[in-house]
Homo-oligomer: A and B are copies of this chain.
Amino acid sequence: MPDRLPVAPRPSVRSLTAAVDVVLLTPREGAISVLLLRAPDNQARDRWLLPWDSLRAEESPEVTAARIARGALGANPAALEQLLTLGDGRRHPGDARLSIAYIGLVPQGSMASIGAVWVPVDRLPVIAPRQRATVDAAVEGLRRRIDQSPLAFRLLPPAFTLSELQAIYELLLSRRLHKASFRRALQAALLVEPTDEWRSEGRGRPAQLFRYAPRKRRGGQRGVRFDLIV
């Protein structure tokens, strides 16, 4: 019998693991809501969790995130972009060393898959600390990017009323906006175009539907916006 069987060298640390987390956000009942999954196992330490999966071999994080989002929604989100990567001591449901987080935007009124629920971000249940930090970063990141990217339009269906759009901005900015000023600025930016449809919500005058259709604008020859610096 030989001294040793040929065994693979055992690394001094357990193999590095990476998870991809997806924070799906949608406006719902006057609040930004996040999609959470109920743990399939009642004995699980975390009863609620963000949609996540291990990063598979040969699959890029983007593709992984898109797959996770599709699984949780039954459809593709309207936008999906990387948020951040966490790898500190905080616990992740999969005990992953690293978690790569993505933020996905879902139009108002979209359904979730079975076992998934929309929860307002200000009434989150207890979830794993790393996922909690991820959700907080996602909401903050959405707020920060809202006037640099057309993200607000991704939180609405393709056709929407201007009041609905204004409500999205008010939700994200946590303050009331002035109707006339809001519309004037929106028109000046050439971001939307009217459709020939109108929607009646029951009471009040019907509202015209618009769609997001950014047109070429000349020169962003604007000065520096120091007032946006935090």
Residues of A whose CB lies within 8 Å of any CB of B are: 5-8, 10-13, 15-18, 55, 57-58, 60-62, 82, 84-85, 87-89, 97-98, 100, 144, 147-150, 169, 173, 175, 177-178, 181-182, 185-186, 188-189, 191, 214, 217, 220-230
Contacts of A89 in B (CB 8 A): 60
Smallest CB-CB separation from A225: which chain B residue? B147
27 contacts between A and B (CB under 8 A): A6-B8, A7-B8, A11-B15, A13-B57, A15-B16, A16-B55, A18-B97, A60-B88, A60-B89, A61-B85, A62-B88, A82-B84, A85-B100, A87-B100, A98-B98, A98-B100, A147-B228, A148-B228, A149-B230, A178-B223, A182-B223, A182-B224, A185-B227, A188-B227, A189-B227, A189-B229, A217-B227
Contacts of A13 in B (CB 8 A): 57-58
Contacts of A177 in B (CB 8 A): 223-224
Contacts of A223 in B (CB 8 A): 177-178, 181-182, 185
Known: A55-B98, A144-B148, A182-B223. 18 other contacts (CB 8 A): A5-B6, A12-B57, A16-B16, A16-B17, A16-B55, A61-B87, A85-B85, A147-B224, A147-B225, A147-B226, A148-B228, A149-B230, A169-B224, A173-B224, A177-B224, A185-B227, A191-B229, A225-B228
**Are B224 and A185 in contact (CB-based, < 8 A)?**
yes
Smallest CB-CB separation from A84: which chain B residue? B82
Contacts of A185 in B (CB 8 A): 223-227
Q: Which 4 A-B pairs have the closest CB atoms?
A: A189-B226, A13-B57, A8-B8, A85-B85
A17 to B214, CA, bound (A): 42
Contacts of A221 in B (CB 8 A): 175
A220 to B144, CA, bound (A): 14
**Are B84 and A60 in contact (CB-based, < 8 A)?**
no
A147 to B41, CA, bound (A): 47
